[in-house]
Amino acid sequence: MTNISKTPEVQALFDRAAGIDQSGGNPRLKAIVRDLLGALGEIVEKHDITESEFWNALKFMQDGAGEFGLIVPGIGIEHFLDLHMDAKDAEAGIAGGTPRTIEGPLYVAGAPLVDGDLSRTNDVNLTTDPDDAETLTMAGRIIGPDGEPVKDAVLHVWHANSKGFYSHFDPTGAQSEFNNRRRIKIGPDGRYAFRSKMPRGYSCPPGGATEKLMHALGRHGDRPAHVHFFVEAPGYRTLTTQINFGDDPHAHDDFAFGTREGLLPVPDRSGGNPHIEFDFQLQRARTGIDLAFSERPRAEA
Ligand code: DHB
Ligand code: FE
């Protein structure tokens, strides 16, 4: 193996390339770019990456840029970001509550805000999917660290339809706007309930960059059926999570690494249709940032 990436000449090259010898620019960005260049140099040498391989990899990324949001969970990085946030929480002595898990790339901002106060309504419906699909009901409580009901919560819900497609991103164009997407305004008792149609497990788009990469890695691009949530409420830390159906064949083989202990409920089918009871437990907000959503760019409709 060659051994040039650690030489003073190459280190100086990467320093200059990252603007380390310049007073201007963003110091944090400069430090990160510097470390990325150093790591890349080592990888090129370690694997003796050829010019052809390098430029073809770049072309793959250029052509697949529209799927970066799908590739990132597929290669475990979105889950790693969760593990990093968990580790920082542990370091700061923050623990407890429903685990966070990946947002995924398919949230759409601006879904209808509907009344979910169960003293006034018991019919929060998320779907316009046809009746032949299986009905899914889900209910439970949004509580705080001491088990207290969380007041004035908004529960954002989004999930795929019975064919595994999300509205707004459905290649068949079959779904109504905001189908299977709602923001539910929860009443003072913290109780929620909704009905929808049972999602099917999701698969990354056939022929796309994510699937190509998964196949090249000897992997599949399938997720178990799942339902996504943001839970936000004054005084509490905003939670990004999802439940994955514990009896799905991919429950323990999720290509996006979104399944986690405590987030794999098995639906109760004793009443005919699948029903899930699930409580969300929030942490108390400690800073303003806890109340906010991440600044991840999201689709809007
Ligand atoms: C992907 C799709 C999802 O529905 C999800 O929740 C996470 C990841 C993806 O295509 O990578
Ligand atoms: Fe999803």
Nearest to 254 by CA among 239, 244, 242, 266: 244
- Is residue 95's pLDDT more than 90? yes
- Two tokens at 282? 């929030």
Residue nearest to atom 8 of ligand 1 (CA): 104
Sequence-distant (≥ 6) Cβ neighbours of residue 102 within 8 angstroms: 73, 78, 79, 82, 240, 242, 256, 257, 258
Across residues 76-91, what is the average pLDDT?
Answer: 98
In this prediction, residue 131 has a pLDDT band, given cuts at 50, 70 and 90, of: confident
**pLDDT tens, residue by residue, 210-231:** 999 999 999 999 999 999 999 9
In this prediction, residue 123 has a pLDDT band, given cuts at 50, 70 and 90, of: confident
Across residues 16-22, what is the average pLDDT?
Answer: 98
**pLDDT tens, residue by residue, 248-272:** 999 999 999 999 999 999 999 999 9
What is the predicted pLDDT for the residue at 102? 98
Task: Look at phi and psi of residue 26 and say left if phi exceeds 0, alpha if psi is from -120 to 50, else beta.
Answer: beta
Task: Please say whether the beta carbons of 150 and 233 come within 8 A.
Answer: yes
- Is residue 130's pLDDT more than 90? no
Among 72, 77, 101, 106, which residue has the most ligand 1 atoms within 8 Å of its CB, making it the best to mutate?
A: 106
What gap in Å lies between CA 70 and CA 166, rounded to an integer? 13
Whether 69 is in the pocket of ligand 1, judged by its Cβ within 6 Å, is: no
Q: What is the DSSP letter of 268?
A: B
- Is residue 158's pLDDT more than 90? yes
In this prediction, residue 132 has a pLDDT band, given cuts at 50, 70 and 90, of: confident
Whether 214 is in the pocket of ligand 1, judged by its Cβ within 6 Å, is: no
What gap in Å lies between CA 184 and CA 180, rounded to an integer? 12
- The CATH architecture of the domain made up of 71-300 is Sandwich (2.60)
Q: Which ligand is nearest to the CA of 66?
A: 1
Distance 94 CA to ligand 1 centre (A): 28
Query: Residues of the chain with pLDDT > 70: what percent?
Result: 100
**pLDDT tens, residue by residue, 165-174:** 999 999 998 8
Q: Enumerate the H helices of the chain as residue ranges.
A: 8-17, 27-46, 51-63, 68-74, 77-91, 209-216, 288-291
Sequence-distant (≥ 6) Cβ neighbours of residue 264 within 8 angstroms: 243, 244, 245, 246, 251
Domain locations along the chain: 8-49, 71-300
Distance 257 CA to ligand 1 centre (A): 9
Among 67, 70, 71, 167, which residue has the most ligand 1 atoms within 8 Å of its CB, making it the best to mutate?
A: 70
Residue nearest to atom 2 of ligand 1 (CA): 104
Query: Residues of the chain with pLDDT > 90: what percent?
Result: 97
In this prediction, residue 54 has a pLDDT band, given cuts at 50, 70 and 90, of: very high
In this prediction, residue 202 has a pLDDT band, given cuts at 50, 70 and 90, of: very high
φ/ψ (deg, to 5) at 48: 45, 55
Answer yes or no: pTM beyond 0.85.
yes
β-bridge mates for residue 231, sequence order:
155, 239
Whether 71 is in the pocket of ligand 1, judged by its Cβ within 6 Å, is: no
Q: If you average pLDDT over every residue of the chain, what do you get? A: 97
Q: What is the DSSP letter of 236?
A: B
What is the predicted pLDDT for the residue at 122? 83
In this prediction, residue 184 has a pLDDT band, given cuts at 50, 70 and 90, of: very high
Q: Which ligand is nearest to the CA of 76?
A: 1
What is the predicted pLDDT for the residue at 176? 94
Whether 258 is in the pocket of ligand 1, judged by its Cβ within 6 Å, is: yes
Whether 136 is in the pocket of ligand 1, judged by its Cβ within 6 Å, is: no
Whether 225 is in the pocket of ligand 1, judged by its Cβ within 6 Å, is: no
Q: Which ligand is nearest to the CA of 78?
A: 1
